[in-house]
A and B are shown apart, each in its own frame.
Chain A
Amino acid sequence: MSFLATRKTEATPKERFPIITDKLESTTPGLYIIGDLTGMPLLKNAINHGYDTVQEIAKQRDTERAEADYDVIIVGAGAAGISAAMAAKEKGLRYVVLEKARLANTIHNFPAGKSIYAEPVELETRGSLWLGEAKKEEFLERWQEAVRSAKLDIRENTPVSEINKNGHFVVATEDGETWTSRFVILAIGKQGTPRTLNAPGEDLSKVFTRLYDPGEFKGEDILVVGGGDSAIEAALALIDNNEVTISYRREEFTRLKPQNASLIRRAMDAGRVQVVFNSNVKEIRPDEVVLEAGGEERVIPNRIVFTLIGTRLPVEFFKKIGLKLENEWDARRWVQFAFWTALLLLIYSVKKFNHGLFCSCPLHSENFSLVAMGSELWDQAYATAKIWYPAVYSALVCGLGLFYIIARRPSRYTFWRTISCMAFQTILFFLLPLLLNDGNIYKLGYAWPLSMSAVFKPKSARILSPEFWWIYGLVFAFVGIPLLTYFHGKRYCAWLCGCGCLAETAGDPFRRLAPKGEKAKRWEKSIYVVLAAAVVVTLLNALTHWDKPPSCTTCLLCGRFRGGSPSPLILFSATVSGVGMGVRWLPT
């Protein structure tokens, strides 16, 4: 699409966004972060952010007092900033907008004649800033007119250098002036911080990070670095009148929009553009560039370079003004993490092993038990944990599930997913086993190989017969699960399984932290090792103790086919919960 087309290029590396609340407030109270900086692109979204944040500030204005020149300083005059300024003016707030360059600079920098769209159509636009479909020039004119007629106080060419909080905010600009306010809205977008090559010569004046007007260049040797849509669009716009070479570090264009992909393919086939795949820029010199491709250096004549390898977050600026970023591990967080992990592991162990902590595993002999097994204290602890563990677990899933439904504006699909999580956890894994006092009930939801014992004949059964549970376990694992997968995909984890349900609810704020990329994908494959191990252990168990079901898959890891023990797997799951709990429930 359109108005974002000149923006992102490469596979976006995992970026660390500043931590913000649902109301877009950063870790510095009173400092709000809106628009593109929140990771949510789209003009409409930025406009709504601006409007919503000012409504929030206007509410607090009446309850707070501070000796400051302004109620709110808005940094950045893009879509979000202008919208915020309009809303601030309407609300009668004392405000000022400090803009590094000029009004709507990002849109100014779009190629001439580019269409801008007001997607997504379904989303309403809040506030009074106009948004509609138009060519770049008309779009800008309408916004300039809107700013003029609203008489908005926007100071252009006023880059902000520092933001400090000392009771109220003190905002310093590069020309040495200071401005004070009770609130600050940071709406500076991502366009001001292009990614760099880190190659010598990058600072030469012939190197550009953006193509403004293709018509400026005629008969030049031009190198375009990058393989995303913005790089390809720039190259395509230049090939008619110039000798264009594209340097891309991957072996093919994989992320292009279909239109761009076919256009560049056609240009390559016609020999109108040279593309050097698997190449890096080694050095940029005044009249040539050095490319490194496949271990060889290639020197090509060059007059102009465009590095269009994407933009990134202004992380240095965030740090300078003291904002906390996502996924930062300081000492405090490690302590929280260790505390919750240890606590959960302890509770889990007590609940799991009625014969003593770590007791049956040869690696952790009985001597390691914190409480002597068989003692009264242990029995009490076990009895309590057995009821309270699933109770707390279910309460967490339900409570956080409700929170998700209320706060996260779920789609119909995610709404029912959450309901399913809550229902399965509460009914199947808590209420039924508790009321019927029969461990076999768990087999309704936990199939082999998740539960190793599910395919073995249980010793006893209070409800129905051992034969029933045996057959049920076999049918569920080898007929039920395949059918479920065929018709519903791999939804077991997110919709039914207890740990998945906790992950979907308690883990919801941490989705962004999941590891990404090829390496993570390879790790994912380790699940097949576990599966193979489960098959082996099941077979061994069937051959040696055909009448005695093992207690869980993880027995494998401590070398015993019977009896349970905390294994690396359990440790890991407790650890995962520890992260979730620690971060969510304690102030960071």
Chain B
Amino acid sequence: MNLIGKIASRWQIGAVKGKCIDCGLCNMNCEMGIDIKKRAIRGEPVTLRDTPCVGCGECVRVCPMNCLFVGQGKEVESKWELPRNEEILGLQ
């Protein structure tokens, strides 16, 4: 199943870019030890290629920012919210 999932799986856990606050709850609660946070920060989907995700959905449940979501195919690829950091630091 993992092997098949590597080659083809429509279903993925997606991440909204710019929403992750780096709190680490997803990683902490992932029973499969996947580095979800790293992908969430970049806004990349999680169940792709080499992740051993079993689809338990706990990362989505514990995410305090609703950054993670369950989606199919293209849904998970292009989510974006305006960044706020530059404004915060007065940089630009």
Contact A514 B55 (CB under 8 A): no
Q: How many residues of B contact A (CB 8 A)?
A: 56
Contact B24 A119 (CB under 8 A): no
Residue of B nearest to A495 (CB): B55
Contact B32 A119 (CB under 8 A): no
B78 to chain A, nearest CB (A): 14
Cα(A485)–Cα(B89), bound, Å = 44
Known: A11-B38, A254-B38, A488-B55. A520 touches B33 (CB 8 A): yes
Contact A511 B41 (CB under 8 A): no
Residue of B nearest to A113 (CB): B90
Known: A2-B85, A490-B54. A255 touches B22 (CB 8 A): yes
1-37 of chain B: CB within 8 A of chain A: 1-5, 8-12, 17-25, 27-33, 35, 37
Q: Is B84 an interface residue (CB 8 A)?
A: yes
Cα(A260)–Cα(B3), bound, Å = 36
Known: A115-B84, A263-B86. A494 touches B64 (CB 8 A): no
Main SS of the interface on chain B? loop
Q: Is A99 an interface residue (CB 8 A)?
A: no
Interface-lining segment among A36-44, A100-108, A347-355, A561-569: A36-44
Contact A42 B64 (CB under 8 A): yes
Known: A4-B21, A494-B55, A511-B58. A531 touches B3 (CB 8 A): yes
Across the interface, which residues of A come within 8 angstroms of B21, CB to CB? 1-2, 4-5, 41-42, 119
Contact with B along A509-537 (1 / 0, CB 8 A): 00110111100110010011001000000
Contact A114 B89 (CB under 8 A): yes
Residue of B nearest to A17 (CB): B28
Known: A11-B35, A511-B29, A520-B33. A119 touches B64 (CB 8 A): yes
Q: Which residue in A258, A413, A490, A524 is a CB contact (below 8 Å) of B43?
A: A258
Q: Which residue in A41, A122, A485, A495 is a CB contact (below 8 Å) of B66?
A: A122
B44 to chain A, nearest CB (A): 11
B88 to chain A, nearest CB (A): 5
Q: Is A298 an interface residue (CB 8 A)?
A: no
B52 to chain A, nearest CB (A): 5
Cα(A566)–Cα(B91), bound, Å = 63
Known: A41-B64, A417-B56, A493-B55. A487 touches B10 (CB 8 A): yes
Known: A8-B22, A39-B25, A260-B85. A514 touches B8 (CB 8 A): no
A sample of 26 cross-chain residue pairs with beta-carbon separation below 8 angstroms, ordered by A number, consists of A1-B20, A2-B21, A4-B22, A4-B23, A8-B22, A11-B37, A113-B90, A114-B89, A123-B64, A255-B38, A257-B41, A263-B86, A417-B56, A482-B8, A485-B4, A485-B5, A485-B9, A488-B11, A489-B10, A490-B2, A491-B11, A503-B31, A511-B58, A512-B28, A514-B32, A515-B33
Query: Which residues of B line the A interface, CB within 8 A?
Result: 1-5, 8-12, 17-25, 27-33, 35, 37-38, 41-43, 47, 50, 52-58, 60-61, 64-66, 70, 83-91
Extra contacts, 5 of them, besides A2-B84, A8-B24, A511-B31 (Cβ < 8 A), are A5-B21, A39-B28, A413-B60, A520-B33, A524-B32
